[in-house]
Structure 1
Amino acid sequence: MNPFIFGEVVKDDNFIDRKTELESIVKDLSDGQKIFLIAPRRYGKTSLLLAAAEKLKAKGARVVYLDLFKTASVEQFAAALGKAAAEMRKLGFAEAVKFIRDFVSGLRPQFSINPDGSLSLGVDASPPQKEVFQMIENLLAYPQELAVREKRPVIVIFDEFQEITGIGGEPLEKLMRAVIQKQRNVGYAFCGSKKTMISEMVSKKSRAFFGMGPITHLEKIPSEYFEKYLAANFDKGGFNFSKETLRYIVSSAGSIPYYIQYLAHELWDLKAEEKKITDLDVERAVMLIAKRNTPLYQNLWENLPQTQKRLLQGLAANSGAAIFSGAFIARFQMKSSALVKKSLSLLISKDIIEKDAAGYVFTDYWMGVWVRQNCS
C-alpha cells in the first residue's frame, strides 16, 4: 500500500517534526493563553492543531475544534458555537439537541446525524442581528462557565479564523474580544491560512484582536526531516534511490508538506514495478501532476487579464524575486512598479498568489509549475 498521504489530516508516523511548535501550543493552551497561529495552506497547520488537541485531551482538558472555512453567516456561526458547546459536554444526540435548542432556539435549528454518527446542525431562520449576537455572547461565555464548574481546562480551537471578518465583521470581532479576554480558565487558538487577512487582524492597533496573545508563524519544515521520512518509507517498499534524489523531491515540491506527500505518492505509483527513483523520475512526476490539473489551471488562466498573466509568468520564472526591479518590469512588460503592485493585490484577492517569507508565491505550488510549462 502506498504510504504517502495527502489531502487529509496526517497522524502518527506521518506527522513530521513540529515538535517545538507542538509543545509550545500545548503548554500555552493548557495555561489558558490566547494564541494566534498563522501559516500558509498546506503547511500542515490543521494536522498540528489536531495533534495538539489529542495531547490536551490526554491531559484531561475539554477540547473543541471549529473550522470556520464553510461558515458564511452570523447565524451559522452561532449554530457552530452551539454544537461546539454540546461537544464540550460530550452529550449524546438527544441531550445535545435539547442543549443546543436552549441556546439558539430563535434560529430554528435543524438536526440530523452524519454517516459517521456525528451531529449535523443547520439553521432555518434569520432573527434580528441583535438577537443573534446575544446568542453568540451567551455561547462564548459557556467555555469559562464549564471550566469553572468542572475544575478542568477548556480549550477552543478556531481554524481559518480570518473568515470571521466576512461572517460578522468588526462588531463580531469586538464582541468576541470583550467576552474572551475575561476568561482565565480557557485556552484559545485562533488560526488562519490567509496570511494577509489574519496578520491584519492581530497586528493593526485598530482591530479588536490586537495584542491579545502571542503570534506564531508556521515555517517550512527543514528538508532533512522530510528526507529521513521519505527514505524510511521508500526503504520499506524496496525502492532504490539516492540521498540527492530525496533532497530533489523535497525541493521540487517547494519544501511544503502537502506537495511533498503528493509528489512522493505519485513516485511510488509511477515506479512501483521498477523500484528505482531518479531525478528524472521526479521531474516526470511533477510534469504529470501539473498536467493532471490542467483543466483547473487553464480555467483560472483564461479568466485573467493580460497584465496579471504576465506577472504570473514572471513569478513562475523568478520565484517572486526582485519583482519591482526595472529588469523584471521590462522583461514582463509590466510598465511600472505601480502596475506590479496593483496586479499583485488583485491576484491575492483572487487567492492565486500569497506572500511568504521568500516573497510572492503561488497559493497552489503546482500551478506555478504549470505556468512555467505551458505559459512561458
Structure 2
Amino acid sequence: MSSSNTLFPLGGPVDENDIVGREDFLKSIQARLADGQSIMLTGPRRIGKTSLALETLRRLKKEGCYVASVDFFRVSTKRELATAIIDACLENRTGIRRTMDALMGGIKTVTNATKLAMKLQGLEFSFSFPDKETSDDLLFSYALDLPQKLAVVDKKQMVVVLDEFQDAARIVGDGVFKLMRSHFQVQNKANYLFLGSKEGLMNNIFAGSDQAFYRFATILPLPPISLAAWLDYIKKKFEDRGICCNEQTIQEIIKISGGHPQDTMLVCSEIYYLLLETGERCLSLEAVQLGTQRALASLTPVFDGILDELGPAKRILIRLVQEASLYERGTHPNEIKRMIDMLINKGILEKMERGTYNFVEPLLKDYLLKVI
C-alpha cells in the first residue's frame, strides 16, 4: 500500500482514498465475490487491477471472510507457487505472512511451536508437513485444496486473488489450467478473483471453448475513470496542500495523460514537486507543461526498454504516430496483423471501433513524437 503521506502515489497498489472513480465497481466485485462468484479482470499493468483487488479483499476481510492474495509474477517454480498459496491461506489462521518458512526453519521456542501447532489444528496433511522431501506435485495439490479445506474447517467464505494468472503455464507447465480447474470446480466455500495483464491470453483461458477454465469465472470489463472523477480527485489533492487550481488546468493534465492511472499520478506528482521547488501556489498551464516534460524524462528509460523489446513491431507504433496506414507495401497483411495483436496483448495499443487503435499510454505516443 502507498504511504498516506504521498500526495500522488506511484509504483504500486494504492489505498482506498487513492482509488479514483471506481467505487461502484468495487461494490459490485465485493458483492459478487461474497455471493460465491469467481471473477476475471484483465488489462495492461499499472491501470489499477491490483489496487482494486486488494481493496476488495480488505473489505471482505472486514466482513468476516478469509482472504488470500498470490502474485504469480513473483514466483518462478511450482514449489514456490505452492508455498505462496499455502502461506497466503494460512495467514488467516496464524497471522504470520510466511508460515511455511517458520515451520521449515524450526520454531525457536517450545512455546511458540505449540502455539503455531494449535493454530494449524484441523488441517490434516496428506504428507509429512513441513518436509523438504515432499514432492512438488504433492505440495502443489495440497495448496490447490487448501482454500476450500480451510474455509470448511473454520466455517468461513474464502476469497483468493490470483494475480498475473496467465503466468501459471510459465511456472508449472502445460496442463496446469486443467489441473487447477479440477480442484477449483468442486470447491463451494472458496472462490477466486483472477487478474491478468495479457488480455489475449486471459481471454483465451476464460472464453476459449476448448480451454479448461471456459466460463468458470464471470469476465468483467474494467471501467474507465471518468473525467469528473479525475477532476474531483486532482483538485482535492492540490487544494489539500494549499495549491489553487482551476478546471482548465486539470483537464489539460487528464488530456496529456489520457487518464491512465499511473501516468496521471506521475504527471501530477511532477507538477506538485515543481511547484514546491519554485514556490508557486497556483497550478498553471506552464507548470503542467513543465511537469509533463519531467514526467516524460523519468519515463524515458521505461519507454526505451519497451521499444527495444518490440523489434519490427516498433514500426507499427511509428506509423500510428505519423497517422500513416499501418499496412505498408512489402509486408504481408497477416504479418502486420500479428504485430498489431502483439502490441494489444502487451498492453501498448487498444483496439477502438472501425479498426482504429489508440495508445494505452498517451505519454508513450508523446515520447515517440519527440524521438522519431
Q: 1:367: which partner in 2?
A: 364
Report the secondary structure of 1:60's partner residue.
Answer: coil
Is contact 2:45-2:347 (8 Å) kept? no
CA pair 173-300 structure 1, distance change in 2 beyond 3 A: closer
Q: 1:265: which partner in 2?
A: 269
CA pair 336-281 structure 1, distance change in 2 beyond 3 A: farther
1:286 aligns with 2:292: yes
CA pair 299-78 structure 1, distance change in 2 beyond 3 A: closer
CA pair 201-53 structure 1, distance change in 2 beyond 3 A: same
Is contact 1:2-1:268 (8 Å) kept? no
1:73 aligns with 2:70: no
User: 1:352 & 1:184 partners in 2: Cα distance?
Assistant: 34
For the aligned residue pairs, the C-alpha RMSD in angstroms reads: 3.0
User: 2:97 & 2:300 partners in 1: Cα distance?
Assistant: 44
CA pair 228-334 structure 1, distance change in 2 beyond 3 A: farther
User: 1:187 & 1:347 partners in 2: Cα distance?
Assistant: 32
CA pair 353-13 structure 1, distance change in 2 beyond 3 A: closer
1:312 aligns with 2:306: no
1:275 aligns with 2:270: no
Residue 343 (structure 1) aligned to one of 336, 339, 354: 339
C-alpha deviation, 1:355, in angstroms: 3.2
CA pair 250-373 structure 1, distance change in 2 beyond 3 A: same
Is contact 1:311-1:334 (8 Å) kept? no
Q: 1:27: which partner in 2?
A: 31
1:165 aligns with 2:169: yes
1:353 aligns with 2:357: no
Q: 2:199: which partner in 1?
A: 195
C-alpha deviation, 1:268, in angstroms: 0.6
Q: 2:19: which partner in 1?
A: 15
Q: Map residues 30-109 of structure 1 onto 2, 5 A cutoff.
A: 30-92=34-96, 96=100, 97-98=102-103
| TM-score relative to the length of structure 1 | 0.81
C-alpha deviation, 1:13, in angstroms: 2.2
Greater shift after overlay, 307-316 or 37-46? Answer: 307-316
Deviations 1:266-301, CA, capped at 9 Å, x for gaps: 111112211222333323322222223334434554
Is contact 2:344-2:351 (8 Å) kept? no
User: 2:244 & 2:180 partners in 1: Cα distance?
Assistant: 54
Report the secondary structure of 1:37's partner residue.
Answer: strand
Is contact 2:164-2:196 (8 Å) kept? yes
The one-letter code of the counterpart of 1:183 is Q
Is contact 1:31-1:187 (8 Å) kept? no
CA pair 242-207 structure 1, distance change in 2 beyond 3 A: same
Residue 251 (structure 1) aligned to one of 232, 248, 255: 255
CA pair 170-300 structure 1, distance change in 2 beyond 3 A: closer
Report the secondary structure of 1:328's partner residue.
Answer: coil
CA pair 176-286 structure 1, distance change in 2 beyond 3 A: same
User: 1:256 & 1:337 partners in 2: Cα distance?
Assistant: 31
User: 2:11 & 2:94 partners in 1: Cα distance?
Assistant: 28
Greater shift after overlay, 362-371 or 260-269? Answer: 362-371
Is contact 1:62-1:88 (8 Å) kept? yes
Report the secondary structure of 1:207's partner residue.
Answer: coil
User: 2:261 & 2:98 partners in 1: Cα distance?
Assistant: 40
User: 2:98 & 2:313 partners in 1: Cα distance?
Assistant: 54
Residue 229 (structure 2) aligned to one of 210, 225, 229: 225
CA pair 342-213 structure 1, distance change in 2 beyond 3 A: closer
CA pair 152-309 structure 1, distance change in 2 beyond 3 A: closer
User: 2:150 & 2:177 partners in 1: Cα distance?
Assistant: 23
C-alpha deviation, 1:2, in angstroms: 5.6
CA pair 46-300 structure 1, distance change in 2 beyond 3 A: closer
Q: Size of the alignment, in residue pairs?
A: 345
User: 2:24 & 2:330 partners in 1: Cα distance?
Assistant: 43
User: 1:28 & 1:300 partners in 2: Cα distance?
Assistant: 36
Greater shift after overlay, 352-361 or 190-199? Answer: 352-361
The one-letter code of the counterpart of 1:373 is K
C-alpha deviation, 1:371, in angstroms: 0.9
C-alpha deviation, 1:161, in angstroms: 0.9
User: 1:93 & 1:280 partners in 2: Cα distance?
Assistant: 47
Q: 1:114: which partner in 2?
A: none
User: 2:182 & 2:67 partners in 1: Cα distance?
Assistant: 21
Is contact 1:36-1:213 (8 Å) kept? yes
User: 1:95 & 1:301 partners in 2: Cα distance?
Assistant: 41
User: 1:328 & 1:16 partners in 2: Cα distance?
Assistant: 36
